[in-house]
Amino acid sequence: MLVIVIIGVLVSWYGVATFVSPPDIANQQALGWRVEQPDSGFYTCEGNWLKQNNSGLWELYLKGAPFDRGVANGKLCKQLIYKQEEAFIDQIREMIPSQSYLHFLKYVIYWFNRNLDDYLMPEYREEIYGISFSADSKFNFIGTPYQRMLNYHAAHDIGHALQDLMLVGCTSFGVWDEFSVDSSLIIGRNFDFYAGDAFAENKIVCFEKPDHGFGFMMITWGGMIGTVSGMNERGLTVTINAAKSEIPLSSRTPISILAREILQYAASIDDAYQIAKERETFVSESILIGSGDENRAALIEKAPFGIALVEPATNYIICANHYQDTTFADDAMNQSNIRDNASLYRYRRVIQDITERMPMDVESVSTVLRDQLGLNGSDIGMGNEKAINQLIAHHSVIFRPAERLVWVSTSPWQLGPYICYDLSKIFNTFASLKQRVEMTEDEQVISADPFLESTKFQQFLKFRIMRAKLMNILKKDKLVLLKSSFFEEFHSTNPMFYEVYSLTGDYFKSIGHKSEAIDMYKKALTCEIPRWGEKEKIIHSMTSCKGL
């Protein structure tokens, strides 16, 4: 009986300790707002609107007070939020198929994030709270709508901390003065955050005019108010790149929320740095800040234990996934990241691309963002993390901040056309939109990558299907015999990529064909392998087949 009482007390205490109270909103009149459809495919809600453009991107305009913006966002994007939450949860289930472990993990995350709201400004809590009224009850088994929406903003950071799960590996760069055709700043970035194909299906180009701070645009998804790529009306750009972090013990300010604050309230690089210094974060991140008015860019390297502002001596700047400032020279995590992962390799490849193409325009920047080759133009296989274009990008974006122009990629990945928005027009001409019209600059479109029409692209699509089939077989305990023709075709789809051979080796090992497995592992080791940990795994599998 005493044990039952103790368990009951602990459960009650845990519930109290992890419960996050929603903000107190004095005026909740916005909850009564209705969504109207004045035109086909065009939805409005009290001066806010949503539509899907001809390229498949959703466009969202929000204005006003934080809670009101959140409510309008939720009402307009209700189905998009549902699809995003479903895609995210399905991806987690695929990565962690054990229901009991998922159940346990839920309680760990709620404990981890129990003080998350203390590190968000009131206006962001209010905005998230407004969205949460449109969250679907289907997912209430995870938590209350507000707590779920809040916790999803920390998921990006946890994904960065667990970088070995291959969730992230972004690349960004900027050029100006002699490296740019007209000397003005141009910034390009690939956001390679992968949480499954479905997660990237409904990208939102959000234009927000808050009642405080600057109007801004950002590329986002349903339910997300944080920023990963964006530009404000002052021509200040923000993009974030993960650095290697220790697994944190408790949450602080999510990086995307810090980036959002910079986007909304900074007019200069110094403003951005001052905001970043004031906020505590729980993972390491590089934030590339571009300033059209200053015609330059800089990096804010932010870690839980320090911060640095990196201002390059050259008229270009490159950001992969490692720190560059001397502040972090002795940091063991950063050293191992440079030594063992793909970050430095991609950094060097960007240098090669920039110097070969200078002076650059937006077309040549897009060419670099689509580059699938390795150092010196070597073939390292399609989808290799050492490539600038890993064929997993959630989105890719190009900024010309001085002109307030932004190009956003269309599917698939960064291969479709980049469509252009003029931020000045958005906030002046299109803010009070009453019907569905195209808002992009037709004469500024960057054409689709010719790779889309190639045989190699079809081979890559087949590679993804066959890889998924093989990985599913390897996950199961039941033996499935595959014909040799399967592997011949599999290898032909992506012959320079190590994974076609390492996975084949894993299959042969699983059915006891050790000699064939060793041959495949040897072949994999002749390819460009992005991570030392993956190389070690292949070597270990090969030596175990030899009985060593």
CATH number of the domain encompassing residue 107: 3.60.60.10
Has residue 39 been placed in a domain?
no
Separation between Cα atoms, residue 397 and residue 419, nearest integer Å: 9
Q: Which of 413, 438, 453 marks a domain boundary?
A: 453
User: Mean pLDDT over residues 455-473, rounded?
Assistant: 97
At residue 488, the 3 state secondary structure works out as helix
pLDDT per residue over 489-522, tens digit each? 999 999 999 999 999 999 999 999 999 999 999 9
Look at residue 34 and tell me whether its pLDDT is greater than 80. Answer: yes
Has residue 37 been placed in a domain?
no
Domain limits for position 237 = 48-453
pLDDT per residue over 319-343, tens digit each? 999 999 889 888 888 888 889 999 9
Look at residue 105 and tell me whether its pLDDT is greater than 80. Answer: no
- Burial grade of 445 (CB within 10 A; 0-12, 13-18, 19 or more): middle
Confidence of residue 162 (pLDDT cuts 50, 70, 90): low
pLDDT of 459 = 98
Has residue 43 been placed in a domain?
no
pLDDT per residue over 258-284, tens digit each? 999 999 999 999 999 999 999 999 888
Which is more confidently placed, 74 or 113?
74
Q: Are residues 229 and 271 in the same domain?
A: yes
Q: Are residues 111 and 199 in the same domain?
A: yes
Has residue 286 been placed in a domain?
yes
Q: Are residues 445 and 476 in the same domain?
A: no
Q: Are residues 328 and 467 in the same domain?
A: no
pLDDT of 135 = 96
Separation between Cα atoms, residue 159 and residue 472, nearest integer Å: 22
Look at residue 523 and tell me whether its pLDDT is greater than 70. Answer: yes
pLDDT per residue over 179-222, tens digit each? 999 999 999 999 998 878 888 999 999 999 999 999 999 999 99
At residue 187, the 3 state secondary structure works out as strand
pLDDT of 15 = 42
Q: Are residues 333 and 212 in the same domain?
A: yes
Contact 470, 507 (CB under 8 A): yes
Has residue 394 been placed in a domain?
yes
Number of H helices, E strands in the chain: 17, 17
Has residue 216 been placed in a domain?
yes
Look at residue 13 and tell me whether its pLDDT is greater than 70. Answer: no
**Total of domains in the chain:** 2
pLDDT per residue over 364-397, tens digit each? 999 999 999 999 999 999 999 999 999 999 999 9
Q: Which of 453, 469, 491 marks a domain boundary?
A: 453
Q: Are residues 411 and 541 in the same domain?
A: no
Query: Six-digit token pair at 94?
Result: 């695929």
Q: Are residues 118 and 235 in the same domain?
A: yes
Q: Which of 393, 424, 453 marks a domain boundary?
A: 453
Q: Are residues 201 and 83 in the same domain?
A: yes
Q: Are residues 274 and 336 in the same domain?
A: yes
Has residue 536 been placed in a domain?
yes
Q: Are residues 508 and 428 in the same domain?
A: no
Q: Are residues 507 and 444 in the same domain?
A: no
Please tell me whether the overall predicted TM-score, pTM, comes out greater than 0.75 for this model: yes
